[in-house]
Amino acid sequence: MAQLLRRLDDEVYVEYNTFGLEGTDLPAWSSPTDEIFHFIAGVRLEAWDAEPGAADASWTPVSSTTFVAESGVVAIVTMMDGSGHDFLIGPPHFEYGVDMYLREPQPGDGHATGECEEAWLLRFWPIRDVFDPITHAAPFSYIARGVLYYSIDLAPEQLVQPPARREVPVPVSALEDWASLRADPELDTFDGWLRRLRGKAEDKGVSVHELLRAAGIDIEDGVDLTPASCSPPQARPGRYKDPLVDRYYAAQARWSLWSGQDLDHDRLREYADSERIAKELCRGGTHTFSVLLESRGALHVRPGVSCRVWRWEDDMLGGELMDEGLTVDRQVLARNPWTRQILVSGIVTVLRRDRDRRGYGDTVWYVVRDAEPHEAARVLCAEATWEEDPEQRRALDEVAREKLVELRATYRSREG
């Protein structure tokens, strides 16, 4: 029987009766209610581990289709700047099914603002692994000096090794391999936070109420411990209309017992979504760490994507690991005897940006975990598929030179 993995209620403002699903290869959608043009829709997103049965009778089926997910994270986007919350449906490069339902708004739909004119239900489920290194892991454009943007686009068939020269079996994972295709873990709930707070109070030999007062929260002995009573006044429920943002702001204030940083709604939404998805991509007790990505495309790595990273580490006595990370297909590539450092590489899965560490230019810090075997298999397959040998590189150089001559002739003709 299909199991519901996670659910998210959202609200989006739809313009010109057109919206899309970011992170997929689907075309634009529209509401079947033709008489409304601009409206607020309450959207319920559900991720299942298999094809679910029909929704209850309050929902009317509208459509059903399949698509391929880019990273496994989707979001409703509208024609202008409208965008819903990011939502994890499962692994990247999987084929998914989606059923869409429609109904008149009911209390609790969307953000329960009473402004919704329609309510939608989108149910997602995984069908099969469709990862293809030719389609999903193609290298960046061929780099050449003297060309606009310093790159020449080559078709994948011009880059790939002929199968006769290198047989690379493409890994096919099973649904149960993936951490994202299991029921929601015990995320950072209020009850979990309260248990930890009680432990901290016990270690200090004080009551929970005393510990909260010492942190600046106005609470009297005997008052029930609720999300509202344990939060600073400016962080209590009701500050933001969006309940996901509201809960995140209050949770952060409780975690740090500090709420002096007044972030705007969009930034809080980004933080709330990224931290929620990062936890959903991990199994219990998973070790996470931060790495600096300095390659092309580092600004746009999506959560759930696995890749190889490189970094300099302190060359510790006995070969101990610097932060217990970067263990999958770990390779020591160089040593610097003067600084006592080693250049290493390994395969990781990206969870979210590390907002506590600032990058520069095209370099970005990400919170990652070591890739699991099925994730690393994809990266290793892509590396083997696109590996260049000297003969292939010379052939690519010839193709690139021909394109370069054509581009330069085109530029000169435009200048003339």
Question: Which helix (H) or strand (E) covers residue 94, if one does?
Answer: strand 94-103
- The three-state DSSP-derived secondary structure of 153-194 is CCCHHHHCCCCCCCCCCCCCCCHHHCHHHCCCCCCCCHHHHH
Distances (CA, A) of 6 to 122, 187, 206: 12, 12, 38
Question: Which helix (H) or strand (E) covers residue 336, if one does?
Answer: strand 331-336
Q: Report the alpha-carbon distance of residue 385 to residue 16 in Å, rounded.
A: 44
How would you class 20 by CB atoms within 10 Å of its CB: exposed for 0-12, middle for 13-18, buried for 19 or more? Answer: middle
**Spatial contact of 276 and 303, defined as CB atoms under 8 Å apart:** no
Q: Report the alpha-carbon distance of residue 202 to residue 197 in Å, rounded.
A: 9
Distances (CA, A) of 11 to 7, 14, 38, 43, 375: 14, 10, 13, 6, 33
Taking only the tens place, the pLDDT of each residue in 161-193 is 655 556 678 999 999 999 999 876 666 667 777
Q: Where are the beta strands (DSSP E) in 275-330?
A: 288-293, 306-314
Give CA angle at 382 (355, 24), nearest 5°: 60
Sign of the alpha-carbon dihedral angle for 392, 397, 403, 407:
positive
Closest to 281 (Cα-Cα) out of 258, 304, 306, 311: 304
Q: Report the alpha-carbon distance of residue 55 to residue 62 in Å, rounded.
A: 12
| pLDDT less than 70: residues of the chain | 34-36, 81, 142-152, 156-167, 184-189, 234-237, 253-262, 415-416
Taking only the tens place, the pLDDT of each residue in 95-104 is 999 999 998 8
pLDDT at 256: 61
**Spatial contact of 384 and 165, defined as CB atoms under 8 Å apart:** no
pLDDT at 65: 94
Predicted TM-score (pTM) of this structure: 0.83
Q: Report the alpha-carbon distance of residue 48 to residue 126 in Å, rounded.
A: 8
The CATH class that applies to domain 4-130 reads mainly beta
Q: Report the alpha-carbon distance of residue 116 to residue 174 in Å, rounded.
A: 39
Tell me which residue has tokens 């300095």. Answer: 294
Residues 6+ apart with CB under 8 A from 250: 227, 231, 235, 236, 237, 239
pLDDT at 308: 95
- What are the residue ranges of CATH 2.60.34.30 in the chain? 4-130
Residue 415 tokens, joined? 């200048």
